Amino acid sequence: MGINVALDGPSGAGKSTIAKKIAARMKYVYVDTGALYRSIAYYVISKGAQPGDKEAVVPLLPEINVSLAYVDGAQHVFLNDEDVSDKIRTPEISMGASAVSAIPEVREFLFGLQRDIAAKNDIIMDGRDIGTVVLPDADVKIFLTASAEERARRRFKELQEKGDPSTYEEVLADINQRDYNDTHREIAPLRKADDAIEVDSTEMGLDEVVEHIAGIIEEKAGKKRPPREKKERKPLLDFSGIEPVKRGKKLNPFRIFFYNLLRYIVLFCFKIKFNLKFEGKENVPKDGSNIFASNHRRMLDPVLIELQCRVPNSFMAKEELFQGNKIFVWLIKKFGAFPVQRGKGDTGALNLAIEKLEMGRNLVIFPEGTRSKDGTVGKGKTGVALIAAVAQCPVIPVGINYYGKAKIRQKIVVRYGKPISPEQLRITTPGPKELKLLRTTIMDSIKELVH
């Protein structure tokens, strides 16, 4: 069991902001329990039900799948695979979260998830009853508070920056009402645990609060952890004994025939629906065992890349996609998708990627890890560099460009860049610096094709 930190306190005390900063500083997992309850409130309200109506809320729980995931280093909240991180941060949802959290079935619905995470990691968890109910045996318990006026001022400033029209008086009223609701509810009311350390942040700056609470945690955690022997640091990956992918293996000719028949049919349909153009088709190899590295805009992207490939592709997809509709999961698997756990060094996915290349298939990777909303290309993950360095297969950069917002005949241009050769991908030492340089080479090649 890891170190468990319970951070409780009233609404607007800054628990989430401070917990995130401490988690990043101390390399702990941050568990935003408030976001979990907010997500349920958001779903209930979206269904036209009242968050405080137990008879209406409980039947909706089986329809809800809430998860936390890190995207580009920031924690995001997903409700039934939809990123609702921003949508759940309004006064209406705050009040709704307070109401649904008073329903025993809702609390039980989320307890299992929270405790399972705490049992396996060093975590900091914030909420209203973490130290009293959820993690009564937490190693460190902090009760963070501030005056209602100061909490309202902070929340009002935050909402103003997001363009929310709420007034300070409305925010203060919401704060006072939620304080009353949280402290007077029958189930797990807000209160300071007997063994919690109270921190009043009314007159303290953000960095000052973080420093103070981090010091408390470091002192408590140091007493619990036994001294550890220093171990020799291992390299990121041992490349010794790893053989490059053996190119030249061909797939079953009947499979290739039917694949290309389907490809031409889909290409014909796409040409009708979209104003679709391909540039750099001469850069697309006629054989398999190649890596296509592309920017990511829409769910259509894997299909668009495949329309010019004479050999079937496999592609990495985030693990969350394989936890939804069974028909959808079956379909994407048939088209060559396999799951990867983002941000966890998924060696199983790496081995499977190499295996697909060994079979003679191409491999499609979206290095950014998630779809871009505004079309800009991010810095990407080092996973693409790792696979390229191990496989020693040519990497073909791809830029997918969507123009305008027309529903019919929208202009789409798919550009294939010149292949990056295995000689350019070869590295001698498997350190993070070398992989980052290789990643930059690949991402720069993609950026040149997006405009």
Amino acid letter for position 116: D
> Do 175 and 268 lie in a common domain?
no
Any idea what the CATH number is for the domain that residue 296 is in?
3.40.1130.10
Handedness of CA 90, 93, 98, 99 (dihedral sign): positive
Burial class (CB in 10 A: 0-12, 13-18, 19+), 192: middle
Contact indicator for 305, 298 with CB cutoff of 8 Å? no
> Do 144 and 272 lie in a common domain?
no
> Once rounded to an integer, what is the mean pLDDT over residues 242-265?
83
Q: 45 or 371: whose pLDDT is higher?
A: 45
What is the spatial distance between Cα 317 and Cα 338, in angstroms, rounded to a whole number?
6
Contact indicator for 197, 143 with CB cutoff of 8 Å? yes
Contact indicator for 443, 379 with CB cutoff of 8 Å? yes
The candidate with the shortest Cα–Cα distance to 182, out of 133, 139, 141, 136, is: 133
Burial class (CB in 10 A: 0-12, 13-18, 19+), 253: exposed
What is the spatial distance between Cα 162 and Cα 344, in angstroms, rounded to a whole number?
32
> Do 215 and 263 lie in a common domain?
no
Contact indicator for 216, 141 with CB cutoff of 8 Å? no
User: Is 244 inside any structural domain?
Assistant: no
Question: Could you give the percent of the chain with pLDDT greater than 70?
Answer: 90
DSSP 39: H
Q: Of 183, 203, 224, which marks where a domain is finished? A: 224
> Do 271 and 317 lie in a common domain?
yes
What is the spatial distance between Cα 217 and Cα 125, in angstroms, rounded to a whole number?
13
User: Is 239 inside any structural domain?
Assistant: no
- Strand, coil or helix: 322: helix
> Do 262 and 409 lie in a common domain?
yes
Q: Of 175, 207, 224, which marks where a domain is finished? A: 224
> Do 259 and 317 lie in a common domain?
yes
User: Is 159 inside any structural domain?
Assistant: yes
What is the spatial distance between Cα 112 and Cα 120, in angstroms, rounded to a whole number?
13
> Do 259 and 134 lie in a common domain?
no
> Once rounded to an integer, what is the mean pLDDT over residues 365-388?
83
Contact indicator for 420, 442 with CB cutoff of 8 Å? yes
pLDDT 10s digits, 311-337:
999 988 777 777 767 887 787 787 788
Please report, in angstroms and rounded to a whole number, the separation of the first and last CA atoms in the chain.
49
User: Is 262 inside any structural domain?
Assistant: yes
> Do 30 and 168 lie in a common domain?
yes
User: Is 248 inside any structural domain?
Assistant: no
> Do 214 and 287 lie in a common domain?
no
The confidence score (pLDDT) of residue 292 equals 95
Spatial neighbors of 348 by CB under 8 A, at least 6 apart, are: none
Instruction: Give me the torsion for CA of 276, 280, 281, 285, rounded to 10°.
Output: -140
- Strand, coil or helix: 56: helix
The confidence score (pLDDT) of residue 347 equals 65
Any idea what the CATH number is for the domain that residue 168 is in?
3.40.50.300
Contact indicator for 103, 58 with CB cutoff of 8 Å? yes
Handedness of CA 285, 286, 288, 294 (dihedral sign): positive
Q: Which residues pair with 316 in a beta bridge?
A: 338
> Do 215 and 339 lie in a common domain?
no
pTM of the model: 0.49
User: Is 339 inside any structural domain?
Assistant: yes
Contact indicator for 166, 91 with CB cutoff of 8 Å? yes
Domain limits for position 15: 4-224
> Do 167 and 286 lie in a common domain?
no
The confidence score (pLDDT) of residue 226 equals 58
Q: 243 or 252: whose pLDDT is higher?
A: 252
> Do 212 and 267 lie in a common domain?
no
Q: Of 203, 224, 245, which marks where a domain is finished? A: 224
User: Is 237 inside any structural domain?
Assistant: no
Spatial neighbors of 109 by CB under 8 A, at least 6 apart, are: 40, 61, 64
Q: 229 or 446: whose pLDDT is higher?
A: 446
What total of structural domains would you count in the chain? 2
User: Is 187 inside any structural domain?
Assistant: yes
Centroid of chain to Cα 341: 10
pLDDT 10s digits, 186-202:
777 889 999 999 999 99
